Amino acid sequence: MPEEIEIDTDKLQEAIHEEIEKEEGSLLRTIALTTALFAAVAAVASLLAGSTVNEALALKTEATQLQAQASDQWAYYQAKGIKAVVLEAQRGVLTSADKPVSPETEKNIQRYKDEQQEAKKKAEEFEHERDEKGKEADHLIHQHHYFAYSVAMLQVAIALGAVAALTRKRLAWIGSAALGLVGAAIFFWALFAH
């Protein structure tokens, strides 16, 4: 009868556990590294989301102030127009009564018309500047939304990374990495493509 080959199962079991610990240690390091990277990108995206929305609000405030200035200029435009019409009506009454029209009246009519045109020009300039500030603010708000989406995706990726670390499940880490990469891609797209 041949001798039985004796295998030391204790050493084999110990070797298997060491390999498992090496793999789990490697997985945990990988999870920790990717989660830290996602956290860093999320922090920057969060800062940029806040700064873009603050800048957009400041621009919207400036646009509102410009609208008020334009409205003031349009009111001034109307006032000067009314004054010119009143003087033209006076001139018409004097002319129809064969009375002389003073040169001062003619001069004032022209002055009011000139001032009216200047007010119109200023009002249009204020409106143009208002529109530009509004467009810039809208762009920043749009960019803010993408930064916010990025932060949300990265936060979910970080949470899933924590689940992966606790359960030591590679599939959970793959999900975390996929969501984190999508969040990072949205961040970089918002940063450079917008």
Q: What is the pLDDT of residues 151-162, one digit of tens each?
A: 999 999 999 999
Residues 77-132 have pLDDT tens digits of: 999 999 999 999 999 998 888 899 899 999 999 999 999 999 999 999 999 999 99
Residue pLDDT, tens place only, 165-191: 999 899 999 999 999 999 999 999 999
The residue ranking higher by pLDDT, 14 or 29, is: 29
* pLDDT confidence tier of residue 26, bands split at 50, 70 and 90: confident
pLDDT averaged over every residue in the chain: 89
**Cβ pair 39, 153 in contact under 8 A:** no
- pLDDT for res 134: 96
Does the global pTM surpass 0.75?
no
pLDDT of residue 12 exceeding 50: no
